[in-house]
Homo-oligomer: A and B are copies of this chain.
Amino acid sequence: MESLSLITFIEAAAVMVSSVSGMIKASEKKMDLVGAYSVALLVCFGGGTMRDILLNRRPFFWVENEIYLFMVLLVTIAFVYIPSVHNLTKLLHRRTNTIEAIGLGLFSISGLFAALNLGMPLFSSSLMGVITGVAGGVFRDIVINEIPVIFKFKGGLYAVASFIGCWICIFFVFFFNAAFLGFIIGTIAIIGIRLMSVYFGLKLPKPLWVTEEEE
Contacts and interface: CB of A to CB of B under 8 A. Distances in A.
A7 B121 CA distance: 22
B63 A151 contact: no
Contacts of A17: none
Contact of A143 (B35, B36, B148): B148
Contacts of A89: 209
Which range holds the interface residue count of chain A? 35 or more
Interface in A121-152: 121, 123-124, 127, 138, 142-148, 150-152
A143 B56 CA distance: 24
For this chain, the copies found in one complex come to 3
Contacts of A120: 59, 63
Interface of A: 26-27, 29-36, 38-39, 49, 53-54, 56, 58-60, 62-63, 66, 69-70, 80-81, 83, 86, 89, 120-121, 123-124, 127, 138, 142-148, 150-153, 158-160, 203-210, 214
